[in-house]
Chain A
Amino acid sequence: MNENRVAIIGIGMTKFGELWDYSYRDLITEAGIKAITDAGIEGEDIQELYVGSMSPGLFAGQEHIGALVADYSGLSGIPATRVEAACASGGLALRQAFLSIKSGRNDIVVAGGVEKMTDVPTGAAMMALMGAGDEQWEAFQGITFPALYALMARRHMKEYGTTLEQISEVSVKNHYNAQFNEYAQFRFEVSLEEVMDSPPVAEPLRLLHCSPITDGSAVVILASEKKARELKDEPIWISASALATDSLALHDRKSLSRMDSVILAAKKAYKQAGIEIKDIDFLEVHDCFSIAEILAIEGLGFCKLGEGGILTEEGQTKIDGDIPVNPSGGLKGKGHPVGTTGISQAVEATLQLRGEAGKRQVKDAEIGLIQNVGGSGATCVIHILSRG
């Protein structure tokens, strides 16, 4: 493994929410300008860009995103690539940008994520999202994404005795944290009763177990060690980037109560970073549905399989707990513009490591792990970020 270290030198994101006045192009431009300003670089310094966006084609009839983003960033001419791995498109873009610098080929590369989901009615948005699953054997049959995660939740409850209350505590915590996040879509608390009584979506999951439909964009600027040290006193380092896949359809997995792609990617990430689980100070994980956060912390090894509910219930994953999870509010509180999420996790992790997370700051944050998942677990991308 070569020693070309990769750093994050700039971050920027838009607010997340139903942003009626913002177009797709407006979103990426705003996030990009913030990131470049934060990095202290000029546009000409950017050598390459990677964009994660899941479904602009279905949401807006727009493909060819790489060229579009380069164009509207005033950077026409540079190599620009759009990557897609459903809801892990952002994490994948981060990984591609990371590899581009790690290879020694480039010094400054942009990784962005952008998704505009509200230009189509909710039903059409839900149909577009089913593209993250198996079109022929899942979507055709009339299943939805909440239903896929509900199938996993029910097995988790049967095999481990996880309760709906434990699953609901994830939503309560993430809403609580999101209050302190100026970018978040939902900045209000919810009680356990409100979560458990919210309208059923796909039993046992209810409305307040499900992340919303969101518009938003986030951008990070990556740099080689040489460039990073020129520009920043304390760059934030990416010490691992791991990607693992599993079967596309949920019915082709080996188990419905764990995510093998997470387990695999985590192993690779810890090895790359040369760290152990106990070294990690906080996590930003992919809670597209509350059960997914439980599957994440189990898959990442922060507790035994089946004990994620207990860990949550005991308050260990709160900002002041043993292992803070989703201090940003997660996908549930912050919002989930699908292709953007992976990059926004990197933005949050960077803020935490810089000590700039305000009221949601994790104490003494030195190392953070971000986990981004595509579909029902067919892709998992993990990055480990650290100070020093």
Chain B
Amino acid sequence: MVKGLASYWRLIPQRYNLIGTRCKNCGEKFFPPRKLCPKCRRAGEIEKFKFSGNGEIYSYTIIHTAPEGFEFQRPYVMAIIKLDEGPWVTSQIVDCKPEDVEIGKKVRMVFRKIIAGGKEGTIRYGYKFKLVD
């Protein structure tokens, strides 16, 4: 299955390194990156911005009914994480028991496999988070 080959490759800086954007005009930071600042619109000046990967849990759920390809990780934690720099990001929290997760706990980014395209397809890597202890 080679669907999404180029779209995955295009997002490698984001998936591997949380490369987002920042509007020089109003200072707002975006992850995922935006090429148009919703506030300033054409008056905005967009530049690259790399996020540190540190954040805290804003909300979380424990998934029992998983989409195809994720069923062997059940039950797994999906969270919306508030990055230190402001934006929220949706991601799995790994390397912990589901009951250890709480709103407000600090997390940091790790590099993990997300999914592979079948047995012959490429392996898609990306960001997940783990609890900071």
A interface residue numbers (CB < 8 A to B): 123-124, 126-127, 130, 134, 136-144, 146-147, 150-152, 154-155, 158, 199-205, 249-252, 256
CB <8 Å contact, B59 and A202: no
The answer on a CB contact under 8 Å between A201 and B65 is yes
Nearest residue (CB) in A for B103 is A158
Bound Cα distance A149, B63 (Å): 12
CB closest chain-B residue, reference A204: B61
B67 at the interface (CB under 8 A from A): yes
Q: A141-B126, A142-B92, A142-B115 are in contact. Are A127 and B68 (CB under 8 A)?
A: yes
Residues of A within 8 A of B88 (CB): 251-252
Interface SS of chain A: helix
Given contacts A200-B62, A250-B90, A256-B58, 12 further A-B pairs with CB under 8 A are: A140-B124, A140-B126, A141-B92, A142-B63, A142-B76, A142-B114, A143-B78, A143-B90, A144-B65, A146-B63, A202-B78, A204-B61
Sort A-B residue pairs by CB-CB distance and give the 10 closest, nearest first. Answer: A150-B61, A251-B88, A203-B62, A151-B59, A142-B70, A202-B61, A201-B65, A200-B64, A123-B68, A147-B61
Tell me if B91 is interfacial: C-beta within 8 Å of chain A.
yes
Judge whether B16 is part of the interface by a CB distance below 8 angstroms.
no
Give Cα A138–Cα B68 distance, bound, in whole angstroms: 14
- Cα(A126)–Cα(B7), bound, Å: 22
Contact B76 A151 (CB under 8 A): no
Interchain CB contact under 8 A, A203 and B61: yes
Asked whether A256 lies within 8 Å of B59 as measured between CB atoms, the reply is yes
Q: CB < 8 Å: which of A146, A154, A201, A249 contacts B90?
A: A249
Checking A123, A127, A151, A204 against B80 with a beta-carbon cut-off of 8 angstroms, the contacting residue is A151
Q: Shortest CB–CB separation between residue A216 and chain B, in angstroms? A: 22
Q: Which residue of B lies closest to A123 (CB)?
A: B68
Assuming A137-B90, A141-B126, A155-B59, is B64 touching A202 (CB within 8 A)? yes
Give Cα distance in the complex from A308 to B65, angstroms. Answer: 27
Please report the C-alpha to C-alpha distance between residue A202 and residue B11 in the assembled complex, in whole angstroms: 28
- Min distance, Cβ B26 to any Cβ of chain A, angstroms: 16
B interface, size bucket: 20 to 34
Please give the distance in Å from B105's CB to the nearest CB on chain A. Answer: 13
Check if B78 sits within 8 Å of A142, measured CB to CB: yes
Q: List 27 A-B contacts (CB under 8 A).
A: A123-B68, A127-B67, A134-B90, A136-B11, A136-B32, A137-B89, A141-B114, A141-B126, A142-B63, A142-B67, A142-B115, A143-B90, A146-B65, A147-B61, A151-B60, A151-B78, A151-B79, A151-B80, A154-B60, A200-B62, A200-B64, A202-B61, A202-B63, A203-B61, A203-B62, A249-B90, A256-B59
Q: Which residue of B lies closest to A200 (CB)?
A: B64
Closest to B91 in A: A141
The listed residue (A130, A140, A154, A199) touching B59 by CB distance below 8 A is A154
User: Which residue of B has the minimal Cβ distance to A199?
Assistant: B64
The answer to the question of B66 belonging to the interface, with a C-beta cut-off of 8 Å to chain A, is yes
Query: What's the minimum C-beta distance from B114 to chain A, rounded to whole angstroms?
Result: 7
Chain B 35-76, CB-CB to A under 8 Å as 1, else 0, gives 000000000000000000000001111111111111001011
A146, closest chain B residue (CB): B65
- Within the assembled complex, what's the spacing in Å between the Cα atoms of A69 and B80? 40
Q: Name the residue among A142, A155, A158, A249 with the largest chain B CB count within 10 angstroms.
A: A142
Minimum CB–CB distance for A307 against chain B, Å:
20
